[in-house]
Amino acid sequence: MGNTASGHLNWPGLIEAYRSYLPVSDSTPVVTLQEGNTPLIPAPAIAKRIGRGVRVLVKYDGLNPTGSFKDRGMTMAISKAKEAGAKAVICASTGNTSASAAAYARRGGMRAFVLIPDGYVALGKLAQALLYGAEVLAIQGNFDQALGIVREMASNYPVTLVNSVNPYRLEGQKTAAFELVDSLGDAPDWLCIPVGNAGNITAYWMGFCQYHQDRKCDRLPVMMGFQAAGASPLVTGEVVTHPETIATAIRIGNPASWEKAIAVQQASQGKFNSVTDAEILEAYRLLASEEGIFCEPASAASVAGLLKVKDQVPTGATVVCVLTGNGLKDPDTAIQHSNNQFKQGIEPTISAVATAMGLNE
């Protein structure tokens, strides 16, 4: 166990907590919102569906400061950009990266430019980016096109790219693996994770390997990556030119970390699988209505995937599903796809309310 037991009362943010594992020095100006140290929550309703003594927990990274796991990487990327003297940063985003980049860049005194695919960013994320002070540019194209543009911009103009192709992003994101081991006392048997641009699965593996080398865990997990069926290039082996899925955060057809993710899958003896939008929504509702955990649709891909391959889970295994973002990021999807009744126009009387509750029958 490191010096970073989960539940640390004076949590300093992940750079200070895991400084010895990160490429920072005493002269790095740390830009932090005290990200990290997110809860690992048992999920008994999901475990019950699998049976055979399997234990399931969810890593709820939707409780980071801007509501997603992107904050782990952004504290590093922005701190290193500031150290290098950058005055502006740029990213392409399906939403969460833009919110995180904007918050950390503004905190660090830099301008933030974000390119988003017009019409394909959940409202909660767009609201965040705008209020944090990002300069949001919506292009008539998809995420992959936006990423191509910002990579060129960063090469030709004085702006620092903070997408996950920036190596400091993955350095920050690997700390989630450290937290898992610090909480569990070892690595899980399986890690189930949504895969879009494929940086996070790569980062988790880096973290597990570093802790394993330092003998802080006895094993390495099998890495199970799940993509939306309409955006599953790692499953089909082919670029998806027009990715489509309700899970906008993973609506990516040509992942930037493609080769690294394949290497992780092979090294961990894991697999990539796809889940349909219907399976994602079912897991999304299950997490909220039976576990009390509200995540965004893309996050639920990890649980949808686990349930899809539940027969492959070893008996008695400990499985961690990564929930990458908060459900409040995408309230529209929640309202449209809730199976629960919303009763309106009820008279303001006790009897009318009791009748609506089914108590007067």
pLDDT tens figures, 303-332 = 999 999 999 999 999 999 999 999 999 999
- Average of per-residue pLDDT across 62-72: 98
CB atoms within 10 A of CB 352: 13
pLDDT, position 339:
85
- Average of per-residue pLDDT across 288-314: 98
pTM of the full predicted structure?
Answer: 0.95
For CA atoms 83, 88, 94, 100, give the dihedral sign: positive
User: Under a CB-based contact definition with an 8 Å cutoff, are residues 333 and 297 in contact?
Assistant: yes
| pLDDT per position as a tens digit, 117-162 | 999 898 999 999 999 999 999 999 999 999 999 999 999 999 999 9
Q: Is the confidence at residue 2, as pLDDT, over 50?
A: no
User: What is the gyration radius of the CA atoms in the chain, in angstroms?
Assistant: 20
